[in-house]
Amino acid sequence: MAESDNLLTKMQDLLVYLIPQLNKFPRDQKFVLGDRIETKLLAVQADCLRAYYSRDKRGHLLEANLQLEVARHLVRLAHALKLFSNHTCGVLAEKMDEMGRMIGGVRGMCVMWMIFSCSRMTRRNSQNGGRPSSGACWRTGCT
């Protein structure tokens, strides 16, 4: 387990656990289903990194959430095809569920920041006699 349990370290832990499991797939599925699962989860990691380094986090987090949901369905398919054991599938489901909750939590914090920021700007505008202050809500795109 990583020392700091943030979104990026949890994603790293998930990939470290998953990739050796995918290498156990039969050859015909390793390069089809296994590759798609790995690609989707690497896309989630890339979207989380983009969100971490950008101002507009919400769009990247929505895309990460969508990619994670697709990866969940692919893992369920692999389990149905008996490519994952029950234990492995349970561990993956738990880790992916935790990732989804963390992405949703960060996304919720972004929305709360936008609401707080916009309401603060609106109050400031009303104090200025209705004139917008410089840079009023340009970050959030709210009007």
Is 18 part of a structural domain of the chain?
A: yes
Q: Which residues neighbour 79 within 8 Å (Cβ) at sequence distance 6 or greater?
A: 86, 89
Rounded Cα gap, residues 124 and 117, in angstroms: 10
State the residue range of the domain holding 98.
7-127
Is 24 part of a structural domain of the chain?
A: yes
The domain that holds 24 is classified in CATH as 1.20.1440.60
- What is the domain count for the chain? 1
pLDDT digits (tens, 9 = 90+) for 90-118: 999 999 999 999 998 877 776 655 555 55
The rounded radius of gyration (Å) of the Cα atoms in the chain is 20
User: Alpha helices, DSSP H only, in 81-139?
Assistant: 86-127
Q: Does the global pTM surpass 0.85? A: no
CB-CB contact of 23 with 30 (8 Å): yes
pLDDT digits (tens, 9 = 90+) for 3-52: 457 889 999 999 999 999 999 999 999 999 999 999 999 999 999 999 88
Predicted local confidence at residue 110, as pLDDT: 67
